[in-house]
Amino acid sequence: MKDLVLGRLSGMQRTFSGFTAGQKVVALIGTGALLLGAVLVFRWVSQPDYAPLFSGLSDSDASAVVQQLDTEGVKYKIANGGDTVMVPRSEVYKTRIQLSGEGIPSGSDGGYSILDKQSLSTSEFQQQTDFKRAMEGELTKTIEAMDGVQTAVVHLAIPEKQVFSDKQGKPTASVLVQTRSGVTLNQNQVQAIVHLVAASIDGMKASDVTVADSKGQLLSNQSDTGAAGASSRNQYVESYQKQAEAKAQTLLNRVVGDGNADVQVTADLNFDKTTTQSRTYKQSDPNGLTLSSTKNTEDYTGAGGSTPTGVVGPDGQMDTSTTTTTTGSGSSASTYKKSSETSDSALDTTTQQVTSAPGSVQQLHVAVALDQTAAASTKPAEIQKMITSALGIDPARGDTLRVSVLPFDRSAEKSAAAELKASDAAAAKASKMSLYRNIGVGVLVLLGLLFLWLRGRKRAKQRAEQTTYVVEQLRNDAARREEAQRVVESPATQLLSLEAPDPTKDLQSELTQLVESQPDDVAALLRGWMADR
């Protein structure tokens, strides 16, 4: 076995030594590439498949998990910025159960689990403190569950309630948010955090919540109670103006073409929240149902006399408007009558309360500029009517719209077009030069390969010719020696020579290997022999 291996290695060594320089380089590079590929495939096959063990860990919990895994000798990987620990998939559940038995991760944010540790001896101050810590922990977990938020810290300031005080302090909150790498919270997410915290605490308003990032930048705007969830009044106004400009610009581009019209909108919005309450009374049916009716009648008849009778009026005067005195021949009579009637009918009562939302339009001012060349075939009056209808211009409200036809300055556009054209030409030229350069390099490489191939072919042909010549010469010499020996040798010797192995075959193979390994030396030797002849 040893001789076989040594023979194979010796044969490979002789074969490699017979290669040209280029063939040796290619053989070495190919062998190295195969070995490297085999090593990479072996590592890929032997590497275990990792799966998340815990995700969204805090720094302290991640440190505790890693320390415990090192103690138990479990392989692990840390991913996702350090808040995710991964272990081989086959050991996920086993490792998770073991760590849970050790109380890892501990969940340092607490939450409502803090309230489970209270006892009968807990003081009122401790209860309030634990409640505040529990709320902070639960809000922290909720905020960290949002996309893009890595860690969050919530601080609550809840004043103590006073029993005999008319004024109570307002609760406030501050939130510190650290986002993941490359993530920025938009205003909708910030408003969601603000309203989430405000709705979790009794008596807290959205304006009492402050949100800041880890860089110290204020994300929430407490002075803004704007409309439609906008972060500030200026942003809402700019958004409204951009929408109106885009709507008008789309119509103008269809009429005069792109770049031939410009629209600017200035909006005056009212952010005051007003409430109007009105009450209206209406009789539904005059002949309908009467709710209540009261009728009073007074009738008096008595003997006459000189004494005045009646109702005493102001200043002691006697009201004789209802007194009748009759004087006869020795007798007089008086009468008094009074009647009143009160009737209550059913009425319809309508109470209406209207609350106007902030962000309503008070005034709208629009300016439209048309290019004189492009707008030659259009009518400014029609464009004015079109923009008025599209944006809802109301002159009674104080809105204004002005359409101006003016020559546009196209120098910047022409300069930009010229620069763009020159840039395109330079890019095209550079592309052509790169193509020519690549083609030239390719042609040179092909020529080099062709030259090497032709040179190698020529050398192989010369080697073959030299080998054939040497072999023929050796055969001729051997034939001459055999002929000479055949003349002098006996028949028995000739019979022995025929049965013996031919030594020229081994000599031929050795000469062939010598010619392939040292062609230049063999050629020089043959030239020397020919010169001697």
Which comes out higher in pLDDT, residue 428 or 468?
Answer: 428
> What does the block give as tokens for 262?
């410009």
Q: Same domain for 380 and 257?
A: yes
pLDDT at res. 265: 93
pLDDT digits (tens, 9 = 90+) for 38-54: 888 877 777 778 888 88
Of 372, 389, 410, the one marking the end of a domain is 410
Co-location of 15 and 129 in the same domain: no
**CATH code where residue 251 lies:** 3.30.300
| Residue 143 sits in the same domain as residue 211 | yes
CA 486 – CA 250 distance, rounded (Å): 114
494 vs 64: which has the higher pLDDT: 64
How far is Cα 275 from Cα 187, in angstroms, rounded to an integer?
A: 28
424 versus 283: which is more confidently predicted? 424
Q: Identify whether 279 is part of a domain.
A: no
Query: What is the model's pLDDT at position 499?
Result: 47
Higher pLDDT, 309 or 59: 59
DSSP string, 329-357: SS-EEEEEEEEEEEEEE--EEEEEEEEEP
Regarding whether 208 and 90 lie in a shared domain, the answer is no
38 and 67 in a single domain? The answer is: no
> What span, in angstroms and rounded, lies between the C-alpha atoms of 122 and 117?
10
**Integer Cα distance of 363 and 179 in angstroms:** 41
pTM over 0.95: no
**Separation between Cα atoms, residue 178 and residue 340, nearest integer Å:** 82
What percentage of the chain exceeds 90 in pLDDT?
A: 10
| Whether residue 157 sits in one domain with residue 54 | no
Q: Please indicate, yes or no, whether residues 262 and 383 belong to a single structural domain of this protein.
A: yes
In a domain, 490, yes or no: no
pLDDT value for 248: 92
Token duo for residue 252: 């103008």
Same domain? For 54 and 172 the reply is no
Last residue of a domain, one of 372, 394, 410: 410
**What mean pLDDT do residues 439-459 have?**
84
Q: Quick: pLDDT tens for 67-122.
A: 888 888 888 888 877 778 888 888 888 888 888 777 777 655 456 666 666 667 77
Residues 39 and 55 in one domain: no
Domains identified in the chain, total number? 4
Q: Which class for 412: exposed (0-12), middle (13-18), buried (19 or more C-beta within 10 A)? A: exposed
Whether the predicted pLDDT of 400 surpasses 90: yes
* pLDDT number for residue 402: 92
Domain harbouring 68, CATH code = 3.30.70
Higher local confidence (pLDDT), 242 or 222: 242
Q: What is the pLDDT of residues 121-137, one digit of tens each?
A: 777 777 788 888 888 88
Least confident of 184-188, 224-228, 480-484: 224-228
457 pLDDT tier (thresholds 50, 70, 90): confident
Q: Between 52 and 468, whose confidence is greater?
A: 52
Written as six digits, the tokens of 302 are: 């008595």
The C-alpha angle with vertex 146 and arms to 143 and 148, in degrees rounded to 5, equals: 115
Say yes or no: 261 and 379 in one domain.
yes
Strand order in the sheet with 332-345: 290-303, 332-345, 326-327
- Asked if residue 461 is part of any domain, the answer here is no
- Residue 144's domain comprises 124-224
Residue 447 lies in a domain: no
Mean pLDDT of 411-439: 86
172-181, 252-261, 295-304, 412-421, range with the lowest pLDDT: 295-304
The more confidently predicted of residues 110 and 463 is 463
What does the CA dihedral 79, 80, 82, 84 come to, rounded to 10 degrees?
-70
Mean pLDDT of the chain: 77
Rounded mean pLDDT, 301-316: 57
pLDDT at position 225 is 46
Give the CATH number, domain containing residue 146: 3.30.300.30
User: Burial letters for 138-152: b for 16+ Cβ neighbours within 10 Å, e otherwise?
Assistant: bbbbbbbeeeebbbb
Looking at the structure, tell me whether residues 55 and 37 fall in a common domain: no
Residue 492 covered by a domain: no
Q: Is residue 371 in some structural domain?
A: yes
In-domain check, residue 487:
no
Mean pLDDT within 476-503: 59
Q: Is residue 303 part of a domain?
A: no
Kind and range of the H or E run holding 510? helix 503-517
Each residue's pLDDT tens digit, 329-362: 444 567 778 888 887 776 777 888 888 777 788 8
Residues 26 and 156 in one domain: no
Last residue within a domain, chosen from 370, 389, 410: 410
Digit-coded pLDDT (tens) for 246-291: 999 999 988 888 888 999 999 998 877 788 888 887 766 666 667 7
